[in-house]
Structure formats: C-alpha cells, structure tokens
Amino acid sequence: YRDNINIAIDGPAGAGKSTVARMVAGRLQYIYVDTGAMYRAVTWFMLNQGISAEDSEKVLQHAQNMVIELKPHENGQMVWLNGEDVTPYIRSQQVSAEVSKYARIEGLRTQLVHLQQQMALEKGVVMDGRDIGTTVLPDAEVKIFMTASVKERALRRFNELSDEGITLEQLEKDIAERDRLDQEREVSPLRCAEDAIILDTTHMDINQVVEAILSYCKT
Ligand code: CDP
Ligand code: CDP
C-alpha cells in the first residue's frame, strides 16, 4: 500500500462510511477521523443549552470557545467536548434529527473544517463525512463516494438499534430528510467530488467494501 496518503470517504447516512473507514484505518495503521461525530457533539451541546439552530449568532458565540477532541478507541472513536466524554449522547434520535440544521451554519463549518484540516496535516488519515473530498481535503490521494439505496441504509440503521422504538418506515423517512437537507444546503453540500470513486455498496458486505477501498490504495 502507498505510504502516508490521505483517504476521504463521503456519502449519505448509513452508507457504511464510519464502519468501513475505521477498518481501513486499522488495516493501514492510519488515524481515523469521524467528522460527523464533531457535528453531532456540537448539536448535542446546543440542544442541551437550549440554543436553537435558527439563532446562528448564538450558536457561533458558543461554538467559538468549544474544545472538541477525538480520541481513538477500540470500537471507533470517542468524542470529548470541553473536557467531557460525550460519546454516549451523540447518536441519539434527537441529535440525528437536528444535526443537519446546525451543520448548515457557515461559521460553524468554517471552524470545524479548519480543525479537521489540522488533524490531517501529517497524512496517514482516513476521514469520513459529507464534504471531505470536496472541501476539507480536496488534495486527498484517494477519494471514495460511498452510497447504497435509502431502503438498504435504513435497514442497516434499523438493525443496529436496540429499543429506541422507531419503525423502519420512520427511519427511512428520517434518513431521506437528512440526505435532502445535507444535499441542498448552500455551504459545502453533500456531493460527489469530480475525482472521487463511486462505490455503491447496496449489495456489498463490509469486508468487500474494505477490500475495494484498499485496492485503490495500492502503489
Ligand atoms: O453516521 P451518519 O451517516 O448518520 O451521520 P454522521 O456522519 O454522524 O453525520 C451527521 C450529520 O452531520 C450529517 O447528516 C450532516 O448533516 C453533518 N455532517 C456534515 O455536514 N459534514 C460532515 N463532514 C460530516 C457530517
Ligand atoms: O457512517 P455511516 O452512516 O455511513 O454508516 P455506518 O454507521 O458505518 O454503517 C451503518 C450500519 O450498516 C452498520 O451497522 C454497519 O455494520 C452496516 N453495514 C452493512 O451492513 N454493510 C455494509 N456494506 C456497510 C455497513
């Protein structure tokens, strides 16, 4: 495999980005950066403080002083916000439902993109999100745009939930709505970079996807 390259993985919710990115990073002994976790941590904080996404000025005021840290962990990654481990809170249904509303605030994106770019300066990074290949790491050596049908993505999410009491139909609606908000926002929307490799994983299992990506990282 090529030494010290950056790998950008983008795509819609439930496509398998984080699972696969983490495994690819493990195989290459690279650092994995889950940018969605950063947007989720900010969203959790704002909801907790009662700060609405409509009030972007207030969001930015609070975001300015925020300290976000990503720490590697055996099952993925831990997110710390202002010295507190917020990992257990950021995948809740409420955060999932609200995150895209905060993620369209321009100043917040500027701040998080900057932080993400700092994390990738040394190279040897696998980063997943929505705008990695287009905005965060436009020079990444390997860019993957990972998709799957919305039905399959909803099913994948459904299978990992235990008892949050949400139906498959509702999950499919929520995911489709989040895709829409992410694709239609003005600032760095979810879209495939011109030089990205498109990987439709609807009929692929996790290992096949990992091997496919690794095959693009060969010298
Ligand atoms: O894991 P899942 O695909 O559900 O989402 P995520 O990667 O944790 O991202 C959650 C949300 O954060 C997305 O729906 C986007 O609104 C936002 N996000 C973003 O705008 N840009 C990124 N680079 C990553 C996430
Ligand atoms: O990060 P993203 O939202 O794109 O997806 P994820 O959280 O990595 O994957 C969602 C779920 O789909 C996980 O439970 C994976 O194990 C599963 N998955 C799968 O069943 N088949 C794939 N080819 C990829 C992921």
Question: pLDDT tens-digit profile of 101-159?
Answer: 999 999 999 999 999 999 999 999 999 999 999 999 999 999 999 999 999 999 999 99
| pLDDT digits 0-9 by tens, 3-58 | 899 999 999 999 999 999 999 999 999 999 999 999 999 999 999 999 999 999 99
Nearest CA to ligand 2 atom 3: 14
**Rounded Cα–Cα distance for residues 131 and 129 (Å):** 6
> DSSP string covering the chain, please?
--SS-EEEEE-STTSSHHHHHHHHHHHHTPEEEEHHHHHHHHHHHHHHHT--TT-HHHHHHHHHT--EEEEEETTEEEEEETTEE-GGGTTSHHHHHHHHHHHT-HHHHHHHHHHHHHHTTTS-EEEEESSIIIII-TT-SEEEEEE--HHHHHHHHHHH--SS---HHHHHHHHHHHHHHHHH-SSS-S---TTPEEEE-TT--HHHHHHHHHHTT--
* Atom number of ligand 1 nearest to Cα 14: 3
**Rounded Cα–Cα distance for residues 33 and 25 (Å):** 9
Q: Is 93 in the pocket of ligand 2 (CB under 6 A)?
A: no
pTM of the model: 0.96
**C-alpha radius of gyration, the chain, whole number:** 17
Ligand 1 mean position, distance from CA 219 (Å): 31
**Which of 162-166, 182-186, 189-193 is the least confident region?**
162-166
Task: Say yes or no: ipTM exceeds 0.85.
Answer: yes
Handedness of CA 132, 133, 134, 135 (dihedral sign): positive
Mean pLDDT score of the chain, rounded to an integer? 95
Nearest CA to ligand 1 atom 15: 100
Under the banding of pLDDT at 50, 70 and 90, the label for residue 74 is confident
Q: Is 206 in the pocket of ligand 2 (CB under 6 A)?
A: yes
Going by C-alpha positions, the residue among 58, 60, 63 that lies closest to residue 41 is 63
Q: Is 147 in the pocket of ligand 1 (CB under 6 A)?
A: no
**Rounded Cα–Cα distance for residues 204 and 198 (Å):** 13
